[in-house]
Structure 1
Amino acid sequence: MRQEIKKVELRNLQIEDYKQLRNSMIEAYPDMENSYWAESDIKKLLDIFPEGQLVILADDVVVGSALSIIVPEKLAYKTHNYKEVTGNYKFTTHTEEGDILYGIDVFVHPKYRGLRLGRRLYDARKELCEQLNLKAIVFSGRIPHYSQFANEMSPKEYIDKVNRKEIYDPVLTFQLSNDFQPVRVMRNYLEGDKRSQEYAVLLDWNNIYYEENKKLINVEKSVIRLGLIQWQMRPLANLEALFEQVEFFIDAVSGYGSDFAMFPELFTAPLMADYNHLSEAEAIKELAKYTELVRKRMQEFAISYNINIITGSMPFVEENHVYNAGFLCRRDGTFDMYRKIHITPNEIFHWGITGGNTIQTFDTDCGKIGIVICYDVEFPELSRLMADQGMNILFVPFLTDTQNGYTRVRHCAQARAIENECYVAIAGCVGNLPKVNNMDIQYAQAAVFTPSDFAFPSNGVKAEATPNTEMTLIVDVDIDVLKELHEHGSVQTLKDRRHDLYKLKKLK
């Protein structure tokens, strides 16, 4: 019968707990001789690493514990036995210079099992690993039911069957259910462990928040602020009038501390009004003559307003080919170009646009991002390849003339957020340009989309602008929440892909 309890407490071990700790250890390991630590050993652990020693109490009695030391990664992952990793049981292997939290013991009194007290101990260990900025938790777990199958299968086969839930092992099954991953089989690990045939399984849990060189300044942010510009198409007298409007919006979003400002696709199109007497193909090439000037001014704005700018897109001529391209202008003064890869029939027919051929992500002071232009978001392969490169935010400047076209962009952007476990930000143009051929009228609603899980809005929409109204949309997105989703989401679309059946790769 399960023990009834009124109060549960998890805290750090104290030397005054020793007698109760010893009694619970004896009950937890009835099949092993000398299954408890001496009081001098516990005192040593408390002297060298008090925060690593945890106990759980039921009605003020110690009924479980998790004991740990810190060791170098090389020691944790090399083939070893229990005596070696604990420094001949004297904990001389513990070092504050280490990067692995090594679990030397975890147990729960048999009368208190089934209450998930062991899970609490493991969760507390994970929190400690994160707080101490250690790479991982590593330990070697017993496989006490292996002795029942030792004549039928190897330890590796046994572990595989436990992993597939074909066999239940009271220790290994529990460890696997707590997100620990098998690394290798350890032979002759714990002397006297007859039920495991002295085999153990080296397991680890990686700290996704680990920072190798923790910095005091220029630390990569967790919460990123996006400033999306829903741009009104309007007649412009000249290039300086465009810059005046651009600077107004950059000033506005940077004033709210935005890390990024994004303009829409082909937002410079009003400047084509002076070339309306030409064919559409000739007019777009004339517009392209402004592109380098716009890029240089955007670089200046990025530095002076301390903001990363995604310039939407503009026509760009290279070797007599016209591309639909844009620039990431970072606040440190550097820039990169991106090009639209998938070109719509309209762009080809009227402007003779050529598709780019580079699929890439970009490093920023806010992490790795991806940028695709409008129609590109309707091709899931692009953003999946970017996600494989570590992209956290996908930016999509777009230009659509009808609600039908906008609906395609919107719903595909939402799908990209879900399938790639990332944020997707979209921004487009609104209004009309009656004196510019092939620009007609625009329809847009800027938005930021999220994955669909409990940490995010239930409809997957972080925020959205008013449709067809010139405005800015300021949105905060949390990268740490994505990290949690990747490892602990209710579904894990990136991890659960069947790489044994299909793969996606770039050809160039």
Structure 2
Amino acid sequence: MQTEINKVELRNLQIEDYKQLKNSMVKAYCEMDEPYWREDEIENLLNIFPEGQLVILVDDKVVGSALSLIVDYKKANSNHTYEKITGNYTFSTHDPNGEILYGIDVFIDPEFRGLRLGRRLYDARKELCEQLNLKSIIFAGRIPNYNEFADDITPKEYIEKVRLKEVYDPVLSFQLSNEFHVIKVMKNYLEGDKSSQEYAVLLEWNNIYYDKSPKLINTRKSVIRLGLVQWQMRPLANLEALFEQSEFFIDVVSGYNSDFVLFPELFIAPLMADYNHLNEADAIREISHFTEPIRKKFQEFAIAYNINIITGSMPFTEDGNLYNVGFLCKRDGTSEMYTKIHITPNEVQYWGMKGGSEIKTFDTDCGKIGIMICYDVEFPELSRLMADEGMEILFVPFLTDTQNAYTRVKLCAQARAIENECYVAIAGCVGNLPRVNNMDIQYAQAAVFTPSDFAFPSNGIKAEATPNTEMTLIADVDLDMLKKLHEQGSVRILKDRRHDLYKIKKLK
């Protein structure tokens, strides 16, 4: 390896680089009978697909390269030879409308190995794959150390030993460490590759940003803006007063181009003041009559303000049973109901509430979301089931009376964000309601929590409101960062679960 390096440059290959390219190839493939591309072949490749040809230079000297074509997925995934996939070295297989970036060559001059220059070439290839909106990178990798083991083990067994790091292979070990996965083993791939016994391993790297059918309008956004309402409990003269205060917050949050607005659990509790002469159970059943008018009004707000509204929660009666429910009112005019699953001892004792029995996620124009009401966030199984269905944002409307109760919600919500690799938004009520029994005091601090990895805040908190003060909290979350976390995070919690030892599932 060169002892002193002044400059490293990665750029597209130019025909003027050919002599240096050839010299590096000869050294890299010294064991091959024909170790380099002819100049006319490189010139042809540059004419066909110039952006796919990369070189890396050290002090202005070409020391490595990555050459590629775009091909149809079926061709790339089928059994083929090197000669066939390159069109007998004419590159006639290049298809600008194909889905796959096919790697036909990558090498580093042996003198410059150990500098991770190969990794730079692969990272550049991945960026190119993303920029061109291609499905994946596929290529057939040699297994040059297999010749030493061919008498004792099959190629499949060799691959497994390399994967488990029991055996080192200079090509395959590198590919596996660069997030490529094995598709299949192919025989007679490259004629004359004696060290690999003419075997090759078909490998693939998936582009998590690939969009099969990109649209010019109504394209799903990556950055989603959340608006959380930290609601002050105050006396309300009637239902119209509730609508007026709600519309104020919706108008404000919508004015900042938010995609969602989240209201707290039981934020309509001030309406119980008119029924405070009744016992707690009868009072809350009285205001359950407002639930349907509230749903309809919030649907109107969602359309008028072009925003998805999560209505917190409110009492709901069905077949004589009392539930704690809320509605997702979408800006397309539709709505869906969600129900609190786990009921606190207080809700049972004072109100006689029952828990719901449906665990589900919701499709929106901003991705798949989950909604859990307060106490539900303290049960990790629910959100894990939602994560398995593809949930990206979890909304938690809550109502807590003391700081202790709030701490349970907050810390559990943070845990849900980390373990499910998703965002969690929480919003609660603040202030006092002296004229409503069992709703005397409230404590809250709205917040948006993130997973815990380098791309996110070090404390896992995207944004927090001022505690116990009426306000709105507006924050952006990037769904593409979640995709990258799932595949390339420091730890990959959802991928690394031991399904062979344990699993959770819905019973109905």
Corresponding residue number in structure 1 for 2:46:
46
What corresponds to 1:86 in structure 2?
86
Task: Give TM-score, length-normalised by structure 1.
Answer: 0.99
Residue 238 (structure 1) aligned with residue 234 (structure 2): no
Residue number in structure 1 paired with 2:6: 6
Which residue type is aligned with residue 224 of structure 2? I
Q: Match of 1:320, as an amino acid?
A: G
- CA distance in 2 between counterparts of 1:286 and 1:78 reads 66
Matched residue type, 1:155:
P
Cα distance in 1 for residues equivalent to 2:127 and 2:55: 15
> How far is 1:2 from its partner?
4.2
**Partner Cα separation in structure 1 for residue 167 and residue 465 of structure 2:** 53
Structure-to-structure mapping, 1:447-458, within 5 angstroms: 447-458=447-458
The AA in structure 1 aligned to 2:497 is R
**How far off its partner does 1:21 sit?**
1.0
Which residue number corresponds to residue 396 of structure 2?
396
Matched, 1:267 2:233: no
Please report the RMSD computed on the Cα atoms of aligned residues, expressed in angstroms: 1.0
Q: 1:43: how far off?
A: 1.2
Alignment partners' CA distance in 2, 1:89 and 1:219: 39
How far is the alpha carbon of 1:3 from its aligned partner? 5.0
Q: Secondary structure at the match of 1:290?
A: helix
Query: 8 Å contact 1:261–1:310 — kept in the other structure?
Result: yes
- The AA in structure 2 aligned to 1:301 is F
Instruction: Determine if contact 1:100/1:138 at 8 Å carries over to the other structure.
Output: yes
1:84-483 → structure 2 map (5 Å cutoff): 84-483=84-483
Whole-angstrom CA distance in 2 between matches of 1:271 and 1:58: 73
Structure 1: which 4+ aligned runs deviate by more than 3 Å? Answer: 1-4
Deviations 1:323-368 (A, max 9, x none): 1000001111111110001111111111111111111111111111
In 1: Cα distance, 2:8 partner to 2:252 partner: 52
SS in 2 for 1:353: coil
Task: Give, as a single letter, the amino acid of the residue that structure 2 aligns with 1:425.
Answer: A
Q: Would the aligned equivalents of 1:455 and 1:481 in 2 still touch at CA under 8 Å? A: yes
The CA distance in 2 between the partners of 1:350 and 1:277, in whole Å, is 15
**Is the contact between residue 448 and residue 463 of structure 1 (CA under 8 Å) also seen in structure 2?**
yes
Q: Which runs of 5+ in 1 are unaligned?
A: none
Question: Are 1:497 and 2:494 counterparts?
Answer: no
Report the alpha carbon displacement of residue 5 of structure 1 after superposing the two structures with TM: 2.5
In the aligned structure 2, how far is the partner of 1:440 from the partner of 1:23? 81
- Tell me, in whole angstroms, the C-alpha distance in 2 between the residues paired with 1:440 and 1:187: 75
Which segment drifts farther, 431-440 or 288-297? 431-440
Letter in 1 for 2:120: R
Task: Check the 8 A contact 1:2/1:114 in 2, yes or no.
Answer: no
The answer to whether the 8 Å contact 1:3/1:112 transfers is no
- Provide the C-alpha distance between the structure 2 equivalents of 1:132 and 1:142, rounded to a whole number of angstroms: 26
Partners of 1:33 and 1:5 lie apart in 2 by: 32
User: What whole-Å deviation, never above 9, does each CA across 1:36-55 have from its counterpart, x for those lacking one?
Assistant: 11112111111111000001
- Kept in 2, the 8 Å contact 1:263–1:311? The answer is yes
What SS is found at the alignment partner of 2:89?
Answer: coil
- Aligned partners of 1:503, 1:151: CA distance in 2, in Å? 41
Normalising by structure 2, report the TM-score.
0.99
Name the CA distance, whole Å, in 2 between partners of 1:94 and 1:254: 48
Secondary structure of the residue aligned to 1:65 is: strand
| CA deviation after TM superposition for structure 1 residue 73, in Å | 1.0
Q: 1: distance between equivalents of 2:9 and 2:399?
A: 58
Supply the distance in 2 between the matched residues of 1:453 and 1:8 (Cα, whole angstroms): 29
Structure 2 unmatched runs, 5+: none
Q: Secondary structure at the residue paired with 1:120? A: helix
SS of the residue aligned with 1:289?
Answer: helix
Q: How far did residue 4 of structure 1 move?
A: 3.4
Q: How far apart are 1:279 and its partner, in Å?
A: 2.0
Partner amino acid for 1:281? A
- CA distance, structure 2, for counterparts of residue 92 and residue 355 of structure 1: 64
Deviations 1:252-276 (A, max 9, x none): 1111111110000001111111111
Q: Distance in 2 between matches of 1:253 and 1:465?
A: 14
1:426 partner amino acid: I
Paired amino acid for 2:279:
S
Q: Confirm or deny: 8 A CA contact 1:6 1:59 kept in the other structure.
A: yes
Q: Distance in 2 between matches of 1:310 and 1:227?
A: 10
The answer to whether the 8 A contact 1:418-1:450 is kept is yes
What is the letter of the counterpart of residue 287 of structure 1? Answer: I
Q: What is the count of residue pairs matched by the alignment? A: 508
1:428-459 Cα distance to aligned partner (Å, 9 max, x none): 00111111111111111111111111111111
CA distance in 2, matches of 1:59, 1:404: 62
> Residue type matched to 1:219 in 2?
T
Q: 1:401-433 deviations in whole A, cap 9, x for unaligned?
A: 111110100000000011011110000001111
